[in-house]
Structure 1
Amino acid sequence: MAAASVRGMSSVHRLRPVWVEERSTGADLAARPVQPTLDEVGTPLHEVTFVVVDLETTGGTPADCEITEIGAVKVRGGQVLGEFQTLVDPGGPVPPYIQVLTGITTSMLVGAPRIEQVLPSFLEFAHDAVLVAHNASFDIGFLKAAAARTGHPWPGNRVVDTVRLARRVVLRDEAPNHKLSTLAGLFRASVTPDHRALSDARATVDVLHALLGRLAPLGVTHLEDLATATDPVPSDVRRKRGLADHLPDGPGVYLFRGPREEVLYVGTSTTSVRTRVRSYFTSAEKRRRMTEMVRVATRVDAVACATPLEARVRELRLIAEHAPRYNRRSRHPERMPWVRLTSEPYPRLSVVRDVRDEPGAAYLGPFGSVQAARLAVEALHESYPVRQCTRRLPLVPAADASACALAEMGRCGAPCTGGQGAAAYAEVVADVRAGMLGDPAPVARAHARRIRELSAQERYEEAVTVRERLTAYLRGAARVQRFDPVARTAELVAARRDEEGGWEIVLVRHGRLAGTARVDRRTDPVPTIETLRATGEHVEAPVAPATAAHPEETDLLLAWLDQPGVRLVAVSDAWTCPVRGAQGVGDAATAVAAVQLLAPDRWSGADALLTGGAAPVVAPAPRTA
């Protein structure tokens, strides 16, 4: 039985990169030399077997022309291993201009084998080799068309085009064009191309070796480099491709480090760290900031992870820990604000940075910005006549207290002057609390009503502002209603089938990933789950609704738990959400449908404003646990 891989998130992971010191936790551990596999470092070009092929044909397109000659040379490490040459009967006459160009006449092809006889021999000759041709789309296109016509499966060999390589390293002041004859003369090939297949293939071998010699100083030293050798990548960036050679071929997190060991950038890959990091040195990376970062970087470290979820979580934690200058998100989790309903004789709404253990207080959020939190406060003020002054009011109002303008407008009961008693104000506070933690329908109704009024008056910009308030409120309410139960849950274990039939197991404590493991389909997951629970990270209980993790980490965990096929193995506490909570609405688009159901009276153009121009959708059924 295969052993299960278990990793507790609190433990220090051994890094997988070869000859790299572990620095993800700040500790300097000695490097452990390990013999890398070819899979990890790539295949050096001197160990690659190339089959350089050239064809002569009756015309320029495989749809209506045939092959008349195949010539190929097999080389490895600069040594010729074999040659392949044969004429091919095209089944018809050779056009006169082709006879003049190649010297191959119709009479020369009488008795030559047909392509269906030649092709299997050529494919065997080129088995597991990299095909090389000058203007490869022409030669490989004819070979693929012949394979399709004769019923032979195309093996899918890698293909290298010497024309494209030449365009990368041969400048116009060296050669007027990139024709084979021109390049053969430039590089002093031992064979002069003469439009015969074997001669041209031999000349192409010399051209290939010369081009590879020019590409080596640019960092093209392995077979994998050739795939991107023709990309318009600065040479100083391409030369750093070797930084990725020893990274793990699996999910994990990578850290680009600068000359002073500072972390420049943290990224993640859910499939292969090595492949992802290599992409930074190719034209696939088009972000100017990333190119700048690669130029500064001197090393790439990696943390191998058991599961893609662990990789995403570790990325968030490392970004929060190091605040890399080239990462633009999640660098300041402590700045994510909340909306708080205060605990005092006459509670009010305020924007705060943390959640405190205050009996009677209620929270909304967390929000991505202070502006979003303020919009949510405005949405609640628009819907409930709760006071908006910021000072703390005594239970008994002062004799000289005066009411504000909001009281005169009927939008506040004026508890500051005794116009509204504690009991009456407590009813307003109860409604606000219900709107924050339970049913969002009153807030949605109030905003829908206001949007109808504004749209009827063609005051669309103001209507958009109201929509933004509603959206901010709904997102904050949905988030807190999801965070609160998971923050109070001391331990939650869930499992999900992976693509290979095994199990991906996740341990969550107070909204923080405390451990993760993966077992294959032949392994009983129960012992692994028990080991994970015993060795997982100890997490102190937070002050709910704040979780013990970065809010985005909790979002990742909740999204993972919401995936189809996830099974709850164990839950230590009640994990429930309001039946008519904000999760059933989610955003302004579904809020429109909810309001239409709640108030099916005449509907104006407010639906387009609430949905940002899209048609309203049917509200989803409320989610319960």
Structure 2
Amino acid sequence: MIGSPLGPLLRRHRGAGSAQATIDDLGTPLTGVTFVVVDLETTGGSAQTDAITEIGAVKVRGGEVVGEFGTLVDPGRAIPPFISVLTGITSTMVATAPRIEAVLPHFLEFARGAVLVAHNAPFDVGFLKAACAAAGTGWPPAAVVDTAVLARRLLTRDEVPNCKLGTLAPFFSASTTPTHRALDDARATVDVLHGLLERLGPLGVTSLEELTGLTRQVDPERRRKRHLAEHVPHGPGVYVFRGPGDEPLYVGTSTDLRSRVRSYFTAGEQRSRMTEMVGLAQRVESLPCAHDLEAAVRELRLISQHKPRYNRRSRFPERVLWVRLTDEPFPRLSVVRRVVPGTGTFLGPFADRRAADAAVAAVHDAVPLRQCGGRLVPSPTHPGCALAGMGRCGAPCTGAQSREEYAATAEVFATAVSADPGRLCAPLLARVDRLAGLGRFEDAAVLRDRVAVLVRALRRRQRLALLAEVPELTLARPDGAGGWALSVIRRGRLVAAGVAVRGTPVRTHLQLLKATAETVTAPAGELAASVEETELVLRWMEKPGTRLVEVTGTLACRVPGTGGLRGFLERVDAGRSARDPFGERDGGGPTRARPDRVRGAGGRGRRAALASPV
């Protein structure tokens, strides 16, 4: 529904009406969730000063045990006698056990992708997080269910006097008695978990989101507003929370609008600004879309148009910066906010002034462009400047460099932006290696980071140029149901989107889309959309399975492009996570603390752009 003419058309393309929603549509069904129930034994009660002595874990899915994990752990210190009396674990028992650094990777692999369950979860999870931090290992994002808190929500004092594991295990007829040994306690907690889950059915709690919400308090005012999500449909699209004056408060996107909007009225949403936003919201507007690309584009345009107060991560096109090589007899670099065709060569965009200045500094390190301001009039009587004396400027102000000679210097930058960064970047990379070889690692790191900013900007600019030069491009992706998600792109702008359902002719749908698509007014060779929108299109185009259906004009990478510098950027990223940024790495990158949102190089042929544009 990009552009007003597409509403009725897309309703036809999405196929016959909507189906009755099932209970599983309301969230992640508990029947398909994998739980890893974990229990720890430690040398004491503080995650900062004490250590783990034993880990026990049981993996369950659909009420069945599918795996167990248990091991003693050498805490690297003596176990206090009172702990040995409580757990039965002595210093002698753990003397030959592995250290926590060796155990953690195996446990994290065992628990990968599962929901963690523990009795008094802050204790166990706190020790695991502290161990990961000490080992330099990222703690993976995972939902956590605390059976102690869940029991307090579901059981009364008439049923159990307290919610200790030793009390709950016999109440739920656990097959294993808690013994203060990790694996035994984890097995007992599994039976307690299953007993508690049986009590959730009559309460209508059937999804993981509702289960985790029970372990946190929900603001009553937020819960009372759940009715705002009643009319929201399933499927991809954009949602807009509107305030008392019907003003947009927050704009978001989802592949399942109903499930996402409902989550704002549960305890699963803990962000303070979202709590404040929901308190102000009076209604939720839903804008169904044909597929995820249309939803992402509409979200971007709405944020840019309305600038909602609660979209802190909003991307406003007017805030980006560009580096411009001016169009004058002796051009120079300047940082500007707008691209005006015909006024010079533009590199960017840059997110902030710091990045733009780093790129400018890198260019000045590579080629002797003048850094003085204003219009330059050569004069033999001009004394020159300090940069000329240092050999970092050809001194055109004194007449020492002719207009033609200076133009050849400026052409190095222009050529790098359009196609070939070799002459611009080669001397910079050589200097980085030279500084590192001399042991001047700090100086080398500063220059390296400047060059990385410059190379990324060059790559970004050349990627954008791919679509800026294409009058019309038609893309198709499988929709997962036997049909095709269709997108029509003009000068980098999404002008039409639809879905050809299974069994219907794709070409017919494309002709209908094109007939009602938005008309762009951008001049030839210029983008008709914001940089952010064009990059969304590029990422959708690069996804595996995307088909190029039709193209008007030429879709091609500029050669050689920045493909030859991909290895340099990979080394920079690896070096930042290593102690020695110039050292060799014998393994992969560090474990990520959180996954990539969406919501993650150089080609040398005319069609290389579709597979991996630079």
- Bin of the TM-score, shorter chain as denominator length: 0.5 to 0.7
Structure 2 regions of 5+ residues with no counterpart?
A: 11-16, 27-57, 59-118, 120-145, 174-195, 590-600, 608-614
Equivalent residue for 1:357, pick from 336, 341, 353: 341
CA contact (8 A) 1:588 1:611 kept: no
Deviations 1:344-388 (A, max 9, x none): 0011111111111216x2111112222212211111111111111
Equivalent residue for 1:389, pick from 372, 377, 390: 372
Query: Is it true that 1:548 corresponds to 2:533 in the alignment?
Result: no
Query: Is it true that 1:380 corresponds to 2:375 in the alignment?
Result: no
1:308–1:487 distance in 2 versus 1, CA, 3 Å: same
Deviations 1:212-267 (A, max 9, x none): 9xx9xxxx888768545513032323333332222111000111222232222111
Shift of 1:335: 1.5
CA contact (8 A) 2:218 2:266 kept: no
Which residue identity does 1:520 align to in structure 2? V
Shift of 1:586: 4.6
Matching residue of 2:218: 234
Shift of 1:588: 3.9
CA contact (8 A) 1:13 1:303 kept: no
- Percent sequence identity is 44
Which residue identity does 1:248 align to in structure 2? P
Deviations 1:563-591 (A, max 9, x none): 23322222222222212112553574257
Query: Is it true that 1:572 corresponds to 2:552 in the alignment?
Result: yes
Matching residue of 1:559: 539
Matching residue of 2:296: 312
Residues in 1 aligned to 2:239 and 2:586: alpha-carbon distance in whole angstroms: 39
Query: Is it true that 1:622 corresponds to 2:594 in the alignment?
Result: no
Shift of 1:426: 1.3
CA contact (8 A) 2:557 2:603 kept: no
Equivalent residue for 1:9, pick from 3, 16, 21: 3
Equivalent residue for 2:415, pick from 419, 424, 434: 434
Deviations 1:461-520 (A, max 9, x none): 332221221111111111111212312322111222232221111101111100111112
Shift of 1:176: 4.4
Aligned residues: 439
Shift of 1:534: 0.9
Q: Classify the secondary structure of the residue corresponding to 1:246.
A: coil
1:347–1:35 distance in 2 versus 1, CA, 3 Å: closer
Which residue identity does 1:558 align to in structure 2? L
Q: Classify the secondary structure of the residue corresponding to 1:366.
A: strand
Matching residue of 2:152: 167
Matching residue of 2:350: 367
Shift of 1:609: 3.4
Residues in 1 aligned to 2:3 and 2:393: alpha-carbon distance in whole angstroms: 50
1:548–1:231 distance in 2 versus 1, CA, 3 Å: farther
Equivalent residue for 1:472, pick from 453, 464, 475: 453
Which residue identity does 1:390 align to in structure 2? G
Equivalent residue for 2:474, pick from 467, 490, 493: 493
Equivalent residue for 2:230, pick from 232, 245, 251: 245
Shift of 1:530: 0.7
Equivalent residue for 1:339, pick from 318, 323, 344: 323
Residues in 2 aligned to 1:164 and 1:324: alpha-carbon distance in whole angstroms: 37
Q: Classify the secondary structure of the residue corresponding to 1:570.
A: strand
Deviations 1:184-204 (A, max 9, x none): xxxxxxxxx999xxxxxxxxx
Which residue identity does 1:305 align to in structure 2? C
Q: Classify the secondary structure of the residue corresponding to 1:365.
A: strand
CA contact (8 A) 2:150 2:215 kept: no
1:558–1:621 distance in 2 versus 1, CA, 3 Å: closer
Equivalent residue for 2:581, pick from 609, 613, 616: 609
CA contact (8 A) 1:437 1:481 kept: yes
Deviations 1:90-110 (A, max 9, x none): xxxxxxxxxxxxxxxxxxxxx
Matching residue of 1:25: none
Query: Is it true that 1:254 corresponds to 2:239 in the alignment?
Result: yes
Match runs of 1:524-543 below 5 Å: 524-542=505-523
Residues in 2 aligned to 1:261 and 1:303: alpha-carbon distance in whole angstroms: 16
Residues in 2 aligned to 1:587 and 1:227: alpha-carbon distance in whole angstroms: 46
Residues in 1 aligned to 2:314 and 2:483: alpha-carbon distance in whole angstroms: 32
Deviations 1:307-344 (A, max 9, x none): 11101111111111111222122342112111111110
Q: Classify the secondary structure of the residue corresponding to 2:482.
A: coil
Which residue identity does 1:483 align to in structure 2? L
Equivalent residue for 2:262, pick from 271, 275, 278: 278
Deviations 1:388-432 (A, max 9, x none): 1121113xx246433111111111111111110011111111222
Residues in 2 aligned to 1:248 and 1:194: alpha-carbon distance in whole angstroms: 40
TM norm structure 1:
0.62
Residues in 1 aligned to 2:268 and 2:585: alpha-carbon distance in whole angstroms: 34
RMSD over aligned Cα, in angstroms? Answer: 4.2
Moved more, 481-490 or 245-254: 481-490
Equivalent residue for 1:403, pick from 379, 384, 401: 384
1:417–1:164 distance in 2 versus 1, CA, 3 Å: closer
Shift of 1:442: 2.8
Matching residue of 1:67: none
Query: Is it true that 1:461 corresponds to 2:461 in the alignment?
Result: no
CA contact (8 A) 1:337 1:353 kept: yes
